[in-house]
Amino acid sequence: MSNDSVLVIGAGMAGLAAALLLASRGVAVTVIERAARPGGKMRELEVGGRRIDAGPTVFTMRWVFDDLFADAGTRIEDHLQLSPLEIIARHAWDTGGRLDLFADAQRSAEAIGDFAGAAEARRYLGFHQAARNIYETLEQPFIRGSRPTPLSLAGRIGPFGARRLWNIRPFETLWGALGGHFQDPRLRQLFGRYATYSGSSPFLAPATLMLIAHVEQAGVWTVAGGMHQTAAALARLAEAKGVTFRYQTEVAEILANRQGVSGVRLATGEQVAAKALVSNLDVAALHQGLLGEAVRGLAPPAPGTQRSLSALTWNLVAETQGFPLLRHSVFFSRDYPGEFDAIFRDGRLPTEPTVYICAQDREGHDGPPPPGPERLLCLVNAPAIGDTHAFSPSEIEQCQQHAFSLLERCGLRIGLNPETCRITSPTDFHRLFPATGGALYGQASHGWKASFNRPGTRTKLPGLYLAGGSVHPGAGVPMAALSGRLAANCVLADLASTRR
């Protein structure tokens, strides 16, 4: 291979986004991926002869993907069939009550009025506006921009930057702020759960994360064939633009000389030359030396104590009865503080887990249930200790009992059959995503500084760029895709300036 190529290590969302943009600008790109397929965490599993999403299921921030496809000179509609959900999620408590949130905020307010009274509905509209204001303050200068410092962020925000920065409420916890917005503890719990979208605890994450509530309210889509189709479509398009994919190929070391990166050494010993490298691995892998000594010091430390959430998941095909599941349903635990204490303080599986279910054969409105067994992903949050503790079958069995009995108390019976059920634990996630302990979102967003601690795209080693959920602007599919675009833009700018 010519050393004019750019190498992308990892075909996760950020790696795919970077490869596609670079190839669309005429750069020769090779993606090296240790798995057999593209997507990384956006993976699917085969259970009972049917394919089920085993990673992300909630598709938000559609504009990010519209831009990705537009960069490549095409339209997302020509590659993926997206449908907006009318009801974004159904929420249930075993103490009583069921609440739907709608794509239309006014309908959500009406539903909250019926659920918790007119005063809470009014307070919800105030919360909705506050979440939107935070999102709008941060979209251009933080989410779309390169990694800022607190000072440069205030500058980027423009007039009254410091005051507007104060209004994003970085110094309050999300839980504390929600106590000011809602009196019904169930609503506080529901909106606090958005912290888990960045792998964090609502009791430790800043109130700024209420912007995630706005992101979801702004639209959730389903992807025909499952979320994994998003990765498959990006990989197909990248290939059509000339990207070479080498699957089941592991990078063992990044090679560097005095000028900067020179290529990689594969686990097979083969060396591949490159003039630039985009690493889509969790930055913890660099810090732990998994890609060699030359790059170990380039990533900030990623201490195990600050890891984001992992998960225990059940991918299953089963009959369900008694509860009208929607595409996204959440069943809340009775002890929310206890759940996060168990995970982040005690490093164990919660005895009272909140359970999220993606029912892949259902839509975002009530309709007849799918005939026969349906495809489900059930997920509970778990500590990211997969590198130091392998959860025993009895620990997993106990968590399963707690989770499925909560579902039963909420009215949902699932005909669980071990033959058509695949469990993924933090240890499995750690094997798939090395150096993470199974953490799925990089470092947790705990405290106001956390978002500024994620590394940016450029590193001190010329030619090495970082992308993915553990770097700026953050975790989740759209944010990882944005980091891939940022990395590609830096590579393009640096290649252009080298040529000049």
Ligand X SMILES: Cc1cc2nc3c(=O)[nH]c(=O)nc-3n(C[C@H](O)[C@H](O)[C@H](O)COP(=O)(O)OP(=O)(O)OC[C@H]3O[C@@H](n4cnc5c(N)ncnc54)[C@H](O)[C@@H]3O)c2cc1C
Least distance from ligand X to the Cβ atom of residue 60, Å: 6
The yes or no reply on residue 330 touching ligand X (CB under 6 A) is no
Q: How many whole angstroms separate alpha carbon 275 and alpha carbon 490?
A: 13
Binding mask 270-299 toward ligand X (x if CB under 6 A, else -) reads ----------xx------------------
Q: Which of 21, 56, 362, 490 binds ligand X (CB under 6 A)?
A: 56
Residues 358-387 that bind ligand X (CB under 6 A): 379
Least distance from ligand X to the Cβ atom of residue 499, Å: 28
Residue recorded with tokens 């993907």: 65
Least distance from ligand X to the Cβ atom of residue 40, Å: 2
| CA–CA–CA angle 430, 449, 281 (5° rounding) | 30
Q: Name the burial class of residue 277, with classes exposed (0-12), middle (13-18) and buried (19+) by CB atoms within 10 angstroms of its CB.
A: buried
The yes or no reply on residue 313 touching ligand X (CB under 6 A) is yes
Least distance from ligand X to the Cβ atom of residue 459, Å: 16
- 32-40, 98-106, 152-160, 205-213 -> range binding ligand X (CB under 6 A): 32-40
- Residue of closest CB approach to ligand X: 12
The yes or no reply on residue 193 touching ligand X (CB under 6 A) is no
Nearer to ligand X, 87 or 379 (CB): 379
- 50-58, 163-171, 174-182, 184-192 -> range binding ligand X (CB under 6 A): 50-58
The yes or no reply on residue 207 touching ligand X (CB under 6 A) is no
Nearer to ligand X, 224 or 500 (CB): 224
Residues 434-473 that bind ligand X (CB under 6 A): 434, 440-441, 468-469
Instruction: Please name which of 333, 335, 341 lies closest in space to residue 406, comparing C-alpha atoms.
Output: 333
User: How many residues are given for the chain?
Assistant: 500
- Cis peptide leading into 38, omega within 30 of 0? no
Nearer to ligand X, 32 or 233 (CB): 32
Q: Which of 6, 8, 10, 234 binds ligand X (CB under 6 A)?
A: 10
- 18-26, 40-48, 109-117, 457-465 -> range binding ligand X (CB under 6 A): 40-48
Question: Hey, what are 390's tokens?
Answer: 């392998």
Distant-in-sequence, close-in-space partners of 37: CB < 8 Å, separation ≥ 6: 11, 43, 231, 232, 247
The yes or no reply on residue 263 touching ligand X (CB under 6 A) is no
Binding site for ligand X (CB under 6 A): 9-14, 32-35, 40-42, 55-58, 250-251, 280-281, 311, 313, 379, 433-434, 440-441, 468-469, 475-477, 480
